[in-house]
Amino acid sequence: MDIGTPSILLIYTGGTIGMVQKTETGALVPVRFNQILDEVPELNRLGYNLKSITFNPPLDSSDITPKIWAKLARTIQENYSKYDGFVILHGTDTMAYTASALSYMLENLDKPVVMTGSQLPIGILRTDGKENLITSIEIAAAKQNGTAVVPEVCIYFDFKLSRGNRTSKRHADHFSAFHSTNYPLLAKAGVDIKFYHENIYHPNSKGILKANTNFDENVVILRIFPGMNRIVFESIMNIAGLKGVVLETFGSGNIPSVTWMMRSIKQAIRRDMVILNVTQCEGGSVKMGHYHASQELLNAGVVSGEDMTTEAAVTKLMFLLGQGLTTEDVKLYLKKNRSGEISE
98 catalytic residue (yes or no): no
User: Which residues, 6+ apart, have CB-to-CB distance to 332 below 8 Å?
Assistant: none
Whether 269 and 303 have beta carbons less than 8 Å apart is answered as no
Helix (H) / strand (E) containing 330? helix 327-335
Residue 263's nearest CA partner among 251, 288, 220, 255 is 255
The phi and psi torsions of 294 (rounded to 5 degrees) equal: -110, -5
User: Residue 172 has what DSSP assignment?
Assistant: S
The Cα 76–Cα 86 span in angstroms is 8
User: Residue 190 has what DSSP assignment?
Assistant: S
The Cα 121–Cα 128 span in angstroms is 8
Catalytic residue among 5, 13, 16, 259: 16
Whether 24 and 101 have beta carbons less than 8 Å apart is answered as no
Please give the positions annotated as active site.
16
